[in-house]
Amino acid sequence: MSSHGSNICTDMDECQMFPLAEPGRLCMHTCVNTPGSYRCVCPHGYNLTRDNRSCQDFDECESGLHNCTKNHECVNTYGGFQCVHVVCPLIQNATYVKTSPMRCERNPCVVGDKACSQAPNSVSFHFLPIVSNMSAPRVLFRVSAARVLGDTLRFTLLGSSSQSHFSVQRSDRQTGTLLLLRPVPGPAILEAEIEMSELERRALLGRYLTKVTLFVSPYGF
């Protein structure tokens, strides 16, 4: 009731009474006050769930509501999608063929061609969507060998630009783990490149590259 008269009703703004920063907030994203009530609104790329408060990502790739061409792969992200084009590497004396949409393998080398034999045997591509400011440290990805021909497997994080965000640790004899070291505010795109080297008595038998791209959402959900 209004303080100006007992016969006048004034709308109560629930959005102001329970802001987003408060525990038990009314809406996951945006609260819109209405006469006598309120409604929750989600950002583009999200649907309002049955509780009418929470937001759930809408998968544009699965639904077909995207504009990626036949030469691109659609990767769903939190709140959107990305069209990615995987290209095999161009390395001197080595040629690669696409064996799957996300993997390239090196053709056999000419006997005695050292430059070719030291080029990566395969390059695989992985695209991971994450939310903004996701808690860290956190395991993002695992790289493992199906079988080991040599006596040693070495896992290395390549590229100086990724050192501040990522780390690679060995989890067992055949597996290396990619770790996210600290929360990343979105929107952002981060890349990490992991090399798995197989050795026999310190002699290189093969190199296998894994390229991981993170698509960080602008939102924390």
Predicted confidence band of residue 202 (pLDDT cuts 50, 70, 90): confident
The domain 14-61 is placed in CATH, from the list 2.10.25.10, 1.20.1730.10, 3.40.50.2300, 3.40.50.150, at: 2.10.25.10
Mean pLDDT of 23-42: 90
Burial of 53 (0-12, 13-18, 19+ CB in 10 A): middle
Predicted confidence band of residue 4 (pLDDT cuts 50, 70, 90): low
Q: Is 174 helix (H, G, I), strand (E, B) or coil?
A: coil
Q: Where in the chain is the domain with CATH 2.60.40.60?
A: 86-216
* Nearest to 131, CA basis, from 28, 42, 219: 219
Mean pLDDT of 117-122: 95
Q: What is the pLDDT of residue 179?
A: 96
Query: Which two tokens mark 68?
Result: 């990626």
The backbone torsions φ and ψ at residue 17, rounded to the nearest 5 degrees and listed phi first, read -75, -35
Beta-carbon contacts of 111 under 8 Å, excluding residues fewer than 6 positions away, are none
State the chain's mean pLDDT as an integer: 92
Give CA 79 to chain center in angstroms: 13
* Nearest to 128, CA basis, from 194, 67, 47, 34: 194
How many Å is the Cα radius of gyration of the chain?
25
Give CA 202 to chain center in angstroms: 34
Strand boundaries in 58-137, DSSP class E:
73-77, 80-84, 96-100, 103-106, 122-130
Q: Where in the chain is the domain with CATH 2.10.25.10?
A: 14-61
Q: What is the pLDDT of residues 142-198, one digit of tens each?
A: 999 887 778 889 999 998 666 789 999 998 889 999 999 999 999 999 999 999 999
Q: What is the CATH number of domain 86-216?
A: 2.60.40.60
Burial of 153 (0-12, 13-18, 19+ CB in 10 A): buried
